[in-house]
Amino acid sequence: MTFLESMNSPSQLRELDDAECEVLAKEIRDYLVTTVAGTGGHLGPNLGVVELTVGLHRVFESPHDTILFDVGHQTYVHKLLTGRMGDFSSLRQRDGLSGYPSRAESEHDVIENSHASASLSWADGIAKAHQLKGESDRHVVAVIGDGALTGGMAWEALNTIAADKSTPPRKLIIVVNDNGRSYAPTVGGFAEHLDELRTTTGYEKLLSWGKSTLRQSGAPGRAAYSAIHGVKRGLKDMVSAEQAGMFDELGIKYLGPVDGHDLPMVEKALQRAKQYDGGPVIVHMITQKGQGYDPALNDDADQFHSVGVIDPLTGKSTPSKQTSWTSVFGSEVLEIAKNRDDIVAVTAAMLLPVGLAKFAEVYPERVFDVGIAEQHAVTSAAGLSYGGLHPIVCIYATFLNRAFDQILMDVALHGQGVTFVLDRAGITGPDGASHHGIWDMAMLRIVPGLKLAAPRDAARLTEELAEAVAIEDAPTVIRFPRGSVGTDIPALRRLDDGVDVLREVPAGTPKDVLIVSVGPFAGRAQEVAEELADQGIASTIVDPRWVLPVPGGVIDMAVEHSLVAVIEDGVKVGGVGSQIRSDLRAADSRVGVLELGAPDEFLPQGTRDEILEYAGLDVATIVSEIVHILPAEVRERAQQSSRRAV
């Protein structure tokens, strides 16, 4: 049995010596590469925190000491060390192991929210609770990195933590996992400050010298490793107050920089931080994403931040032959930018995932990556708009929640022409509860003047994006899901207000159901209509294209039908269906509205189809719901018609 296979509790780590820990670290990396290659997941970040996580669990006693992981995508090693190795084959799958911390899985997990920059606020609160309850023997350790220190919330927490003068001091330790990257290289002044700390302490120069010397001497394998790290241990691992710069000015003790892949050094630094009784401590760890796996280290794009199923030997995945929504957007926004000099793009540390790589390559001066700072991104975009440009803010739908106040008060209130492009909108799949982008439509519905489009296919994405950037006095939103875009679905006709009619009831036939399909549900709506037709129920299908505010043409068609069924993959509470119900009530219509959307709960992980079925958005369930709610006279007529057809 390997060390990893025998690991049921982190307390077992304290029974291993340095050599055994080195073997364990290799076992962990080998296991991660093999397992994540088969399931997909965040490989690079976890390969980069192996020694750091082992050191944390050797020095601190979880769960008595609280260990917090910002974002949480770097907790696979933590999960392995806390007895969950047997569950890794189900990683990120329905009813399987979460790709993030999960309280349901382990008492060692605390923060399930996978949005960045929140860990220091959690740490501040937990440390205060320990102090007020007299639990003076409990430490709180927050691991923050992968760009999370670019987020404003982290700075707000640092401001509070630094100002704490309580007696006795709270036992709070901040481990900065400095790999220089989020998805891509971290941007901003804080990243530059960390770079400066590396260079002013001579850390990188010494490391480079050590490696060069060993290459010349030809020291083999383990001897080379020991020599390099022996040299580095000669450095003092606490810099002077002058070198610590901003940390000293904040009043927070600084230790580092420390080689985060040298376990003895990691443990020594963490022990010093644990023993320090003068207040909060920052431990600066230098790590490398993808450590120990050449395909990740050689990937300049994101060092295998997140991968699908890959070949564990080569790191290569099977290229998809399908076109993604993101790539359609990326190509189209570049074409628009070529014809309009005022078009600029703003993103929050997500330049590659949201499809801005081509734009940034051609027009680097017109793309602004502000780091993990969505609030700043939105208000900065308002300023860009005021200055005469048209900014396109590209962001995952789930992360837009963080900037609602800025959309409402900085963009909408001031009538600024800002376009928001929401990638991964709706039910996304394996990343779980806090990554599903299901709240955007309900949230944005209440913003005065805002216009929101949900394209059903690539052709509509192209035309709706062009329509969005033509609006200069209000916020506009384009939302689309994760995955492949599928084939285009042509309309039978288009109403004067832009509503597309995809299916119509033959003349002289009673109009039973108006199906309003939001975005890519158009194909599913057609399947539903066919199933209803088999039961003698006639359906019209419309795609509003611009779903908020609801076009008048949808309401006009709704009053001609016995029932309106709205299919959307946002939360149905307060969603497009709710707005149509409200608009019909205002029109003094008694037509019933069936709201078919995501339930008012935090959805689990799984494939998109699995979660759609869980949410009741599969074809069979939608048909059943529609038939059940139809007026009795319509059901009776449909049954008679169906019997006659048989």
**Residues 6 or more apart whose Cβ sits within 8 Å of residue 235:** 201, 202, 203, 206
Measure Cα distances from 619 to 341, 493, 589, 626 in Å. Answer: 45, 25, 28, 11
Active-site entry in 84, 92, 402, 581: 402
* Range 458-469 burial, b when 16+ CB lie within 10 A, else e: bebbbebbebbb
Residue 116 annotated in ligand binding = yes
Residue 315 annotated in ligand binding = no
Measure Cα distances from 608 to 72, 571, 598 in Å. Answer: 22, 15, 12
- In angstroms, the CA 60 to CA 51 distance is 14
389 Rama sector, left if φ>0, alpha if ψ -120 to 50, beta otherwise: beta
Structure tokens at 256: 């580092």
Catalytic residue list contains 402: yes
Specify the pairing of strand 546-548 against strand 539-543: unpaired
* Range 496-522 burial, b when 16+ CB lie within 10 A, else e: eebbbbbbbbeeeeebbbbbbbbbbbb
Active-site entry in 58, 171, 289, 479: 289
Which 3 state secondary structure label does DSSP give 479?
strand
- In angstroms, the CA 191 to CA 161 distance is 20
Structure tokens at 509: 């036939």
Q: What angle do CA 365, 366, 370 make, to 5 degrees?
A: 90
Residue 293 annotated in ligand binding = yes
Residue 396 annotated in ligand binding = no
CA 90 to chain centre: 20
Per the document, the length of the chain is 646
- In angstroms, the CA 362 to CA 337 distance is 10
Residue 114 annotated in ligand binding = yes
Cβ atoms of 540 and 445 closer than 8 Å: no
**What is the phi/psi pair of residue 528, to 5°?**
-60, -45
Active-site entry in 51, 374, 531, 595: 374
- Dihedral, 140, 145, 147, 153 alpha carbons, nearest 10: 0
Catalytic residue list contains 135: no
Lateral strand order in the sheet of 539-543 = 493-494, 500-503, 539-543, 513-517, 563-571, 592-598
- In angstroms, the CA 597 to CA 603 distance is 12
443 membership: H or E segment, kind and range: helix 440-444
- In angstroms, the CA 132 to CA 148 distance is 28
Residue 73 annotated in ligand binding = yes
Residue 522 annotated in ligand binding = no
Cβ atoms of 365 and 344 closer than 8 Å: no
The secondary structure of 49-105 as a DSSP string is THHHHHHHHHHS-TTTSEEEESSSTT-HHHHHHTT-GGGGGGTTSTTS--SS--TTT
63 preceded by a cis bond (ω within 30 of 0): yes
Structure tokens at 604: 């689990």
Residue 374 annotated in ligand binding = yes
Catalytic residue list contains 14: no
Structure tokens at 155: 């700075």
Cβ atoms of 551 and 499 closer than 8 Å: yes
Residues making up the annotated binding site are 73, 114-116, 146-148, 179, 293, 374
Annotated binding site for Mg(2+): 146, 179
Extract the annotated binding site for thiamine diphosphate.
73, 114-116, 147-148, 179, 293, 374
Q: Which residues are catalytic?
A: 289, 374, 402
